[in-house]
A and B are shown apart, each in its own frame.
Chain A
Amino acid sequence: MQYAFILNGKPVQVTAEEDANLLWTLRERLKLTGTKFGCGVSLCGSCIVHIDGKPVKSCITPLSQAVGKKVTTIEGLSDDKSHPLQVAWIEEQVPQCGYCQSGQIMQAAALLAENPNPNREEIIKHMNGVLCRCGTYLRILKAIEKTAQKV
């Protein structure tokens, strides 16, 4: 089957099976590996990307749902780590192992796009589904708050 959508601002066409999945298409067919596989069942958030600006768990998203839509991955958030969240993430030295951080940043970016100045409670509520094992939560929170103040 042919699937056409806009990926990080550019039109792409993918040939894949009927049951192709967005996460594995990004990672294996398009070799954009910044989006990670963590649980496979929408429980951890490592796989979060945006479809038309909304955060989705790509691990449970059939590729067909991306057709005709704008898909943004961590690679498309900026060309040069210049998105305010990426800047804040470096300033606050957020990542440890780093594996969940693409999902964390994409989830946070969706929040700020909708609500540029969230309070702490709103941030926690929005970010609560994205798991981190290394214990980076407080720095994630700080980086988002810092970015929100700047936006």
Chain B
Amino acid sequence: MEKQIESQGLSRRKFLKVGGGITFLVTAVGLPALVFKKGEIGESKQISAWVHLASDGTVTIYNPASEMGQGTMTALAAIFAEEMDADWSKVKIEDAPVEPEIYGIGWGGERGGSMLTVGSRSVSGHYNNLRQSGAQARYVLLSAVAEKWGVDRKELKTDSGLVFHPKSNKKITYGEIVEFVKIPESVPEIPDSELKNPKDFKLIGKDYQRYDIPFKVDGSAIYSGDIHVPNMVYAAIVRSPVNGTQPELKNETAIKNIKGVLDLVSLNHGIGVVASNMETALKAKAMMEITWKGDPKAKSHNSQDAYEEYEALSKSSKTGSIVTQSGDLNRELPKAQKTIRADYKNDYIYHAQMEPLNAVAHVKADSAEVWVGTQASDGTRNDVANHLGLDFKAVNLHTCYLGGGFGRRSMTDFVIEAVDISKAVNLPVKLQWTREDDLQYGAFRPISLQKLEAGIDQNGNINSWKHVVIGTGGGLLGSGADIPFYDIPNKLIEVRNIDHGVRTKHWRAVGHGPNKFAIETFVDEIALEQKKDPYQLRRELMKNHPRELAVLDKVADMAKWDSPVQEGRARGIAFAERSGSLAAGVCEISLDRSTGKIKVHKIWGSLDGGVVVHPANAKYQMEGSLVMGLSSVLFESITFKEGQVEQSNFYDYPILRMEDAPEEIILEIIPSTEKPTGIGEAGLPFMGAIISNAFAALTGKRLRHMPFTPEKVLEILSS
């Protein structure tokens, strides 16, 4: 079978094309030169682009994705180690070099796309490639042993870092193979039939610890701000308070005279100060007096007025971009027996990753070196190279741990700033954003108004569904607006956009947060209006979608949905998909009616993520995303006044604290043999709706504008 495949054309050329990732591919893109130089090899060898094997048995696997807390550096290595049959206790994980030709993935999971860690796509995107690459590494080892022992490769078996030949009872460790392993001229694509049978998996779907955690309990994990380079200087920047305005520094001499200030660097959007130490850079930044020039679009943006602008746009006869259209809504909706309408709103929110943006850059005459925690490693390399007019290969990018990303760190604005300043002063520079910089020069999850309308037919069924999302941020608005799992014959889902000239960006789960809030709250409103149980209404709507139904049923079962709730408490339920994963949640809340504070006691969550590579971590990602989601739902709001962000730090942009965390979070993953889907955001989208739905069950009043701050709650209660 395998021979046949080889003869069918897994030639070197084809192999290169499919990007199997072994030897010649490695040399082709110039990975460490030590690999194939005999005599310089020392005690270890790189046996494919993905793995380095040492004679003591240490297996170093390259991590192709950014590690920002989601834990995929462990899961990805586990997939590879599974098929290589490596001894997990001897596995080390290092970041892969920035070589998207090898380590990148396309949106369909094809090899050679980008090394962009977004959209919960790392495990789902790399799954097949890493199984294949791991199996190929195993093939290389088996071939070497077969030749050495003069036996048929197919008679050899492996077991966690050991090759053995049952017929002769010979065995050898992977580490011992290093001495004689040769990389074959061609390595075949291993057919699926020769990959591990999932029932033999030792890692995939099993319990194992995260690789990064020990480094995160003693301060030894390295984030980019932790980097020190000889002769490094420190930089801070005052950036335009209104996006698009340009700076004019009024007190240049005074700033330059501050002891320790080395230089000032003018940028389009701000002024950088370079100093011999961090304190001086930050002090000088605070002392700069700047006049901001220009009259950009953002200057006229007042976010509290935006909802009126959206309302007006919703009445325009001009259609926006259509997310989904089916049946004939314009014909059917007017014929409905009953029409139900509701509007939902959500303010801008900020990423608030705990590590404020920072980067270290050293621009030299014809090269650049950059240290950064980024979600876009090749994108950063490319942007830096293009910005400086350098070849990609002249940019040496060192990836670091990210102190949170959530979408903010897939932008490269902060890296380009560090590069500009380093170039200007001709020294290595550590650029540090303050929290205020990070917040006020943020790029936010867009504000939106969501107008929903449902037509109920004479049988009490939802016959028509109209959902118009109106907001800013263009393409960020539509994600999650579709509801393919709810069988409603006539649907029109549409996005309308107004550009306010302010910065917006993907924020964990993107549009799914606001859109699922609106959709799933609206379903609840329809249920109450129709005197139906909201869980049962969803069951009816998704009766032809067994996977979705199973997830919903699971969470209802876990939460004992039909059982009575403790006095003073109520439950809410919702369903949401994200990145292919299906999730449902139930929460139990109570309310302090004097302060307006909502207390979340329990959250139950169910998840179908296909094959789950690292279940313990998958659950933890779901826990994290629903806690972060809860934070956004209860507390978070960015407002603009004349284009300027009104908040500045955690005192006026509070995020959830320990006292507001749910008392208990109970999660279950539904076993599946379907292909893996993205898990890192799946717990977030349903959060707005479960809280709003529980609140309605508790009070009979409806929260339709996120965040549900105590002030808003009190206002709703007294309405």
Contacts and interface: CB of A to CB of B under 8 A. Distances in A.
Interface of A: 16-17, 19-21, 24, 27-29, 31-41, 43-44, 46, 73-75, 77-78, 81, 86, 89-90, 93-102, 105, 124-125, 127-141
Interface string B654-672: 0111110110110000000
Interface string B431-450: 01011100000000000000
Given A24-B279, A86-B217, A97-B402, A17 B225 contact: no
Interface in B318-362: 352-356
Contacts of A141: 658, 661
B217 A28 contact: no
Contacts of A17: 259-260, 277, 279-280
A116 to B, nearest CB: 20
A102 B661 contact: no
B226 A27 contact: yes
A107 to B, nearest CB: 11
B623 A95 contact: no
Contacts of A33: 219, 222-223, 225-226
Contacts of A34: 218-220
Given A95-B213, A97-B401, A101-B217, 9 more contacts: A16-B277, A20-B279, A34-B218, A37-B432, A46-B354, A77-B218, A99-B355, A137-B627, A137-B657
Contact of B355 (A38, A86, A139, A140): A38
Interface stretch (B66-74, B92-100, B304-312, B689-697): B66-74
Contact of A94 (B213, B356, B404, B657): B213
Interface in B488-509: none
B509 to A, nearest CB: 13
B107 interface: no
Interface in B257-306: 259-260, 277-280, 282-283
A98 to B, nearest CB: 3
Contacts, number: 183
A104 B403 CA distance: 14
Interface residues of B, number: 68
B128 to A, nearest CB: 26
A49 B665 CA distance: 30
Nearest to A29: B277
B495 to A, nearest CB: 28
A95 B217 contact: yes
Given A17-B279, A34-B219, A39-B650, A133 B435 contact: no
B658 A96 contact: no
Given A34-B220, A124-B659, A97 B403 contact: yes
The 9 A-B pairs with the shortest beta carbon distances in the complex, nearest first, are: A34-B219, A135-B627, A97-B69, A99-B403, A98-B216, A135-B624, A33-B226, A96-B69, A95-B216
Interface of B: 68-71, 209-210, 212-223, 225-226, 228, 234, 259-260, 277-280, 282-283, 352-356, 401-406, 432, 434-436, 616-617, 620-621, 623-628, 631, 649-651, 655-659, 661-662, 664-665
Contacts of B213: 89-90, 93-95, 98
B68 to A, nearest CB: 6
B435 A38 contact: yes
A135 B626 contact: yes
Which of B356, B402, B655 has the most CB atoms of chain A within a 10 A radius of its CB? B356
Contacts of A41: 435, 649, 651
Nearest to B276: A17
B624 A134 contact: yes
Which of A39, A73, A97, A98 has the most CB atoms of chain B within a 10 A radius of its CB? A97
Which applies to chain A's interface (DSSP): helix, strand, loop or mixed?
loop
Nearest to A41: B649
B354 A96 contact: no
A138 B666 CA distance: 11
18 contacts: A19-B283, A21-B279, A33-B225, A38-B354, A40-B434, A40-B436, A43-B649, A81-B214, A90-B214, A95-B69, A95-B212, A96-B621, A98-B69, A128-B659, A131-B655, A133-B404, A137-B661, A141-B658
Contact of B655 (A21, A77, A125, A133): A133
A35 to B, nearest CB: 7
A59 to B, nearest CB: 10
Contacts of A32: 219
A102 B628 contact: no
Nearest to A105: B217
B632 to A, nearest CB: 11
Contacts of A138: 623, 627, 661-662, 664-665
A29 to B, nearest CB: 8
Nearest to B218: A81
A41 B437 CA distance: 13
B654 to A, nearest CB: 9
Given A17-B277, A24-B277, A86-B218, A98 B212 contact: yes
Nearest to B70: A96
Contacts of A95: 69, 212-213, 216-217
B401 A98 contact: yes
A35 B278 contact: no
A136 B657 CA distance: 10
